[in-house]
Amino acid sequence: MRKSVKLAIAVAVTASVVFASAFAGGKMENSSAAKSTGADKTIRVFGAFRGEEAARFDEIIKIFNAKTGYNVVYEGSPEFETQILVQAEAGTPPDIAALPQPGMMKNFASRGFIKPLSANVVSKIDENYAKVWKELGTADDGRVYGVFHRVNAKSFVWYPKKAWEAKGYRVPQTWDELLSLQKRMIANGDTPWSIGFESGAATGWVGTDWLEDIMLRTAGPEVYDKWVNHEIPFNDPAVRTALRYMGDIMLDSRNVYGGTTYILTSNFGDSVKPLFDTPPKAYMNRQGNFITGFMPERVQAQLEEEVGVFAFPAINPEWGTPVLGGGDQFVAFNDRPEVQEFLAFLTTWESCAPWAKIGGALFPHKTQNFDDYGNAIERDIAKILVNASVFRFDGSDLMPAEVGAGTFWTGMVDFISGRKAETVLSDIEKSWPEN
């Protein structure tokens, strides 16, 4: 789901000034003065996460500050994506920024705004991450600029554990096994899926996530990237194939609780609840790691006992079991040693474990201790994430807003409403803005 910010440039400039002023006064003013005498080294970090997420990141910062004697200070803003561009162009950026979009990193690298990571940081990425995370942090010039820390993922299927056990259902490892499971459920008089597209003005984004996940599994990451970047048309045969897979599930009323009417009218958060009725009205819900917060309170209170989760199954074994999601990559606007040292710290599990114990975040680090997660559910989905050889960002978030948060959303609604796949995809293709 897109988290875009559309603000007038005047507002962005004002916000940027306010942000800069905040760092110029108070604590930061004192540290700046101390820095000039060598008594203190302040590292300014700017990002989009706020509230509870910012508070948890601050706990991570405290560990680094205590270890090093540096003074890392984090500032979050709801206008981050606009502000950071204004600051970079004005020559007044923070030391480090947490960029939510890979395209932004590549844009900043091509314009010379950010610095490549030091050899030490790159070696730690090689040591502590799967290859895909280094690739996602690499710009078009072949140099590595981004360090990933906390991430989120969507390629999970949730199920009512006790009801599954009572029925003797088993977790499918492949798409064929998933289809066989669907048939078995239907033969037992059960409904396999509960799916909800409704999300106010953003209705339809659930459908885009489904299609993106299937595209990764049928066409692979390279074709997926071409699709997202419009290097192939939206109605390319690869996209039609993925939509057919999606339609085979969603347009068959035996597969989905309430049929297409329920899909179109039910809120995405409410769609997980039928799994926990007695007896369940459906047995599977595909959604991101955040969906546990929408489950009934009694289920949340006993999450490990009540809920099971597995990876959305592979289709083409060549691509393994990809994961779709998002995350912030930290980039440096200067290459001072202490800045690189903080980025190196973010590659370590020490910088993640406190947040993992509290819950609400996933981390891609190979070196992580899964026992540090607060519950079995997060341990399971963290293992799915770490074991994925393919990870890609939510495609609709990377597409132009007219498409990703417009015709793509509405097109998925139209498809479930009965419009032909070819017509839907052609209409989305026509809406893609010209360069």
Task: Give the pLDDT score at 208.
Answer: 97
Task: Give the pLDDT score at 40.
Answer: 61
Cα distance between residue 255 and residue 240, in whole Å: 21
Tens of pLDDT along 287-299?
999 999 999 999 9
Write phi, then psi, for 210 (nearest 5 degrees): -60, -50
Residue numbers of the chain with a pLDDT score lower than 50: 1-39
- 219: nearest Cα among 390, 405, 417: 390
Q: State the amino acid at position 309 in one-letter form.
A: V
Cα distance between residue 322 and residue 23, in whole Å: 41
Which helix (H) or strand (E) covers residue 331, if one does?
A: strand 323-332
184: tokens are 């078995």
| Residue 257 · residue 194 · CB < 8 Å | yes
Task: Give the pLDDT score at 298.
Answer: 96
Distances (CA, A) of 18 to 11, 23, 77, 87, 333: 10, 9, 11, 11, 19
Tens of pLDDT along 4-16?
333 333 333 333 3
User: Distance of alpha carbon 398 from its chain centroid, rounded?
Assistant: 12
Taken in order of first residue, the domains within the chain and their CATH numbers are: 42-153+325-395 (3.40.190.10), 156-321+402-430 (3.40.190.10)
